[in-house]
Amino acid sequence: MLLGIHVQTTIFMYIQHLSGKEKRINQESFPEIQKSVAKYTHYTYNRIEYLFLPGQRLSLGDEKKKRGNDMCGIVGFVGKQQAAPILLDGLSKLEYRGYDSAIAVRDNKQEVKVVKAKGRLKGLMEKTDNGRALKGDCGIGHTRWATHGEPSEVNAHPHVSDDGNVVGVHNGIIENYQELKAKLLKKGYTFYSSTDTEVAVKLVDYYYKKYEHTPVDAINHAMVRIRGSYALALMFEEYPEEIYVARKDSPMIIGVADGDCYIASDVPAILKYTRNVYYIGNMEIGRLAEGKATFYNLDGDEIEKELVEIKWDAEAAEKGGFEHFMMKEIHEQPKAILDTMNSKIKDGKIDLSDVGLSEEDMKKITQIYIVACGSAYHTGVVTQYVMEDLARVPVRVELASEFRYRNPILKPTDLVIVVSQSGETADTLAGLRLAKEHGVKTLGIVNVVGSSIAREADNVFYTMAGPEISVATTKAYSAQLIAGYLLAVEFAWVREKITKEQYDALLAEMQTLPEKINKIIEDKERIQWFAAKQANARDIFFVGRGVDYAICLEGSLKLKEISYIHSEAYAAGELKHGTISLIEDNILVIGSLTQDDLYEKTISNMVECKSRGASLMGLTNFGNYSIEDTADFVVYVPKTDPHFAASLAVIPLQLLGYYVSVARGLDVDKPRNLAKSVTVE
């Protein structure tokens, strides 16, 4: 199975730790390394085998390229100024990363003061009088996107050890936090939150006291035993004017200027104060004190780091160098897909135990309803095709705004799946409540932990897209598709509609999607060139059959919502039943043709449009080059299993909508009249 890149990095660092230099894995050395790594990382041998091929070089540089931005935001300051206003200002630049916020500030040897607020940063600013109510020149802050525990003041960071010895904040996901928590409970520790972060803080405290060493020693011991991704910022009672940091796979930078030190999970938070930063490496520790930063490796040895000058402006920095959040989020789709898959694929099998769907449940279900709005509805249409074809269970896809008003016929053996990125969509939430009133089992597919749908649904499937800023969804849509695929494949397997060979092949192919999406994005300049020619278009039609029709629905929505060009998606076979009367000279018709068995039929429909004056764009798989005889412009996507075609074919259509909007000079991220989450009817 394809594991998270953080495991690869852990193994690389461990090999460095053993040998002091980069190693190349060969056939002879692999078993020994495998044995050591399995012990070190707690990953089983067979899971490690999937990571590397003999002769492959482990590269942190490659890891950095593949890694996307993490959830949550961290800030920190120690120096000659009051910390709280600086922390709040930094959090304001990272507010898009979360919805709960808190700061911890210390005034020399005084007790650390922690202030938390649920919801937007405004609440924390009011509590602290914009930071003026908290005195102290050393502090850390955090804005939280919940992964463990619902949004609340209790679960908000910073977290504190039982006696207040260690205070810390954390980005990332600690995979073995339950195992570590059980260990600490046996040692007499108590827990007040549901977070993995509190476990990390108390683990550091445990090793600090056990070995009576320095903070660096305590953090080193904890890092060896933590599995997952993290960026940590910690304060220790006996070191009042110091902050310690550590990271593995979650981003963190250290800034210095005029005797002050700054911490941030992203550049915008500190760009106002300094442009000189250190990039702390994986499995490294930093000490911030006395106006300078000192760095250590996993052995506790001091290491040298290069100071780098940031040349981005503030707006560009917040967007990671991209012109718009939408483009940034298009590029983050491979990570969103990979993270969502890895949350459910364990040891080469789909594991839905945390979703709450047992094999017995899946066997008893006689009909599935998928209830959603907008792009989430479109993922439902794709899931319908895939689920019915693979699992042979009837599926109905319902617009939430209609489902709730038509008095649907629901049976105890039905399953209602509601899909929403925010988990707060009013119509979808109402559809969920209607299903529950009928006593029907419900499943929420949501991206926000602790959202209303997550709390009220019987069971929850969390997508791992991370915060999505642009109103036009991209990565959340892609993560929802993966959730649908995983459910469909597991239903098919449990209901004995596919063989073990088919099951394994589907999972293997699904795991190729991130890299194939990267390849499509790399060719975005061709789409940009074509999009510029459509800037003055009045009407654009999308046509397709089967899954391709579902792809067209999303492509059309992307275009219309951010470019304001009228566009519609039609089932290609329906053109002759009235719609073709709208075709006239120079109208663009975009045909999606990823399903080989429907290719010729859709080509025929496109030819009908061309004969009436339309210009044609074709979207198809590599190898279908005969389409160039018909279409004026063609975009090719890598071949995949037809059930997963939507994940690839939607990418060029997202890019098309984006570039047309840019060509028209519009606000891509905030289109008129639209909001990210529709919480009213």
Positions marked active-site = 72, 676
Of 278, 262, 313, which is closest to residue 91 (Cα–Cα)? 262
CA 491/CA 506 separation, integer angstroms: 13
DSSP annotation of 281? P
Measured at the alpha carbon of residue 138, what is the angle toward residues 135 and 142, in degrees to the nearest 5? 95
b/e burial code for range 504-534 (CB count within 10 A of at least 16 → b) = eebbebbbebbebbeebbeebeebeebbeeb
**How far, rounded to the nearest angstrom, does the alpha carbon of residue 543 sit from its chain's CA centroid?**
30
Side-chain half-sphere exposure of 515, counting CA atoms within 13 A: 8
Collect all residues with Cβ–Cβ distance below 8 Å to 269 and sequence separation of at least 6.
Answer: 73, 75, 90, 91, 93, 94, 262
Give the torsion sign (CA, 350, 335, 253, 278): positive
Closest CA to 281 of 223, 225, 239: 223
The two tokens of residue 236 are 């220790």
Bridge partners of 168, per DSSP, are: 159, 234
- Name the residue among 392, 389, 349, 338 with its Cα closest to residue 504: 349
Report how far residue 258's alpha carbon sits from residue 242's, in angstroms, rounded to the nearest whole number: 16
Angle at 235 between CA 233 and CA 239, to 5 degrees: 140
Pairing label, strands 100-106, 73-78: unpaired
Q: Which two tokens stand for residue 470?
A: 């642009």
